[in-house]
Structure 1
Amino acid sequence: MSEKEIAGHLRFEVELISNEEARGTMPVQSGILNPFGTVHAGALIWFGDVTATRLALQGVQVATGGSGFPLAINVTAQLLSNVTSGTLTARSRFVKRGRTIQVVRTEVTSDQGKVLLDLTTSHITSK
């Protein structure tokens, strides 16, 4: 598959619900499916990471050159299940919200509430 063919297939919405939680939704569609017809692991992890980063960002304006952006320095992913259709929901919450490092846990679930991905990310603010 060329880059042109996959462009635009990772569509989702992410919002900051509170200072302690971010939530996102992503429809399952053909461009994110693997050869087995289930959601590609990379798409699941990417969706979870973007939701976690939204929480870590906390509305901070990122400066030109990326200063202030919460860089992921560690990503641990447990792929627990998968689906072929529906809408995925990601829910990110802080495990630790320190001055130097932030640790976020994100669960990506199916329409039926089945946990597909358990993701833990650690972030530092770029200088």
Structure 2
Amino acid sequence: MRVSGQIEFSIVEQTPERVVGQMPVQAGILNPFGIAHAGAVLWFADVCATVLSFGGTTMEPGQSGFPLAINLNAALLGNQKDGTFTAISVFVKRGRQLSVVRTTVTGDGGRLIAEVTTSHVPAR
């Protein structure tokens, strides 16, 4: 069996306190049952949280200080076949050595899709 996919999303808002992303539900993220794959939802949430943790600077490969996720806790609460997911990431705790971010992913009509909490430490 061969499987392939493609994840696309955009950061539509970024402040020091919050990051908002939007991801279309499209063929490249659907599972065999025709709904969004949980891994795509988690990847989307994790990247939004990482962008928030890193701050306003541009990320470069191998750059020091990249916020490595050391823990991810997720509750997958819903799903959908089409439309758009919106992720909102905010700090629970912002620190120099450890930051904790809560990301809420909603679907069309504000339907709750996932609650994801990630912990990040700066790479050295």
Deviation at residue 17 of structure 1 after TM alignment: 2.6
Task: Note the aligned Cα RMSD (angstroms).
Answer: 1.6
Q: Which residue of 1 aligns with 2:87?
A: 90
Provide the rounded CA distance (Å) in 1 between the counterparts of 2:20 and 2:58: 19
TM-aligned CA distance change 1:96 to 1:44, over 3 Å = same
- Matched residues in 2 for 1:63 and 1:10: separation? 20
- 1:45 and 1:64 map into 2 onto residues whose CA distance is 22
Letter in 1 for 2:113: L
Deviation of 1:66 after TM superposition, in Å, equals 3.2
**Matching residue within 17, 20, 33 for 2:17:** 20
For 2:98, the equivalent position in structure 1 comes to 101
Overall identity of the aligned pairs, in %: 51
Deviating 4+ runs (over 4 angstroms):
61-64
TM-score (norm 2): 0.92
Gaps of 5+ in 2: none
Q: What is the Cα deviation at residue 39 of structure 1?
A: 0.4
Structure 2 contact 30–36 (Cα < 8 Å) conserved: yes
How many residue pairs match? The answer is: 124
Distance in 1, Cα, partners of 2:23 & 2:116: 16
Q: CA deviation at 1:23?
A: 0.5
Q: Quick check: 1:62–1:68 contact (8 Å CA) kept in 2?
A: no
Distance 2:64 2:18 in 1: 23
Pick from 33, 36, 53: which aligns with 1:39? 36
Q: Is the contact made by 1:15 and 1:54 (CA closer than 8 Å) also made in structure 2?
A: no
Alignment partner, residue 26 of structure 2 = 29
The separation in 2 between residues aligned to 1:62 and 1:36, in whole angstroms, is 35
Q: Is the 8 Å Cα contact of residues 13 and 24 (structure 1) preserved in structure 2?
A: yes
Give the structure 2 partner of residue 122 of structure 1.
Answer: 119
1:59 deviates by 1.9
Q: Any gaps of 5 or more consecutive residues in structure 1? A: none
Deviation of 1:74 (Å): 0.3
CA distance in structure 1 between the aligned counterparts of 2:59 and 2:21, rounded to whole angstroms: 21
Q: What is the CA deviation profile of residues 75-112 of structure 1, one whole-angstrom value per residue up to 9, with x for unaligned ones?
A: 00100011011011000000000111000000110021
Deviation (angstroms), 1:12: 0.5
What's the TM-score once normalised by structure 1's chain length? Answer: 0.90
